[in-house]
Amino acid sequence: MVIAEIKSLKDIKKMIENFKRVLIVGCGECVSVCLTGGQKQVELLSSALRISSRNNKEKRILKGKTISRQCEPKYLENIKKDIEESDAVLSMACGAGVQALSEKFRKIPVFPAMNTKFIGVSDEEGNFIEMCAACGDCILSLTGGICPVTRCPKGLLNGPCGGSKNGKCEANPETPCAWLLIYERMKELDKIDDLKNINSPKDWSKNMRPGKLKAGI
């Protein structure tokens, strides 16, 4: 899932300082699961901004709505009326959600309340780690299901680099060496000999931005 964190209240307040009626829009997908941009967080941000506006004697009307999925235009219809009654929108979705809103409602400024961080998974409650850099040409079949593009800071396709110490990465001693993890997984899979094959350099043309995809097999 896409992992995003909320921006500081100071940054958010700055974005909406010139707007009176502000709609805060949460998303029911990834950001809800990572506990940063779902319904609960919309309520928390609304009350924090309300208190701040009151303390600063600003006349601001804040309203919060959470929709199923902000990155899919059909769900945006559900908040059309709320958006039309607002001067600005604060999106609590990932960058894709912010842009989907902005594309659909072109006359209203849409601001990001979040910083989109990465595609990742939770390893324990409230803790997320990056797992995929969306490189466009997945090589997990060659590396025992562990991504060296993302989890090795050097993105080495043939590792380890030689700096690994006590199983940890030389670039970040708190992180396991991705290539040690790959070695151990390949051993478990009885595929250790496959590591003698040299992986070809990555074809980054498959990662050309902006990515496009036509659905269907």
Residues near ligand SF4 (CB under 6 A) are 132-135, 138-140, 147, 149-150, 152-154, 156, 159-161, 163-164, 169-171, 177-179
Residue with tokens 């500081």: 8
Contact (CB, 8 A) for 169 and 133: no
Interior/surface letters 172-183, b for 16+ CB within 10 angstroms, e for the rest: eeeebbbbbbbb
Residue with tokens 């040409």: 137
Q: Which is nearer to ligand SF4, 5 or 170 (CB)?
A: 170
Q: Which is nearer to ligand SF4, 51 or 121 (CB)?
A: 121
Nearest-approach distance from CB 129 to ligand SF4, in angstroms: 13
Nearest-approach distance from CB 208 to ligand SF4, in angstroms: 14
Q: Which is nearer to ligand SF4, 75 or 118 (CB)?
A: 118
The secondary structure of 43-77 as a DSSP string is: HHHHHHHHHHHHHTT---EEEEEEES-TTSHHHHG
Give the dihedral sign, CA 142/145/150/151.
negative
Q: Which is nearer to ligand SF4, 67 or 169 (CB)?
A: 169
Q: Which is nearer to ligand SF4, 144 or 160 (CB)?
A: 160
Nearest-approach distance from CB 207 to ligand SF4, in angstroms: 8
Burial label for 119, CB within 10 Å (0-12, 13-18, 19+), is middle
Nearest-approach distance from CB 36 to ligand SF4, in angstroms: 22
Nearest-approach distance from CB 45 to ligand SF4, in angstroms: 31
DSSP 174: T
Q: Which is nearer to ligand SF4, 16 or 169 (CB)?
A: 169
Nearest-approach distance from CB 3 to ligand SF4, in angstroms: 14
Nearest one of 66, 69, 2, 65 to 29, comparing CA atoms: 69
d(CA 5, CA 37): 8
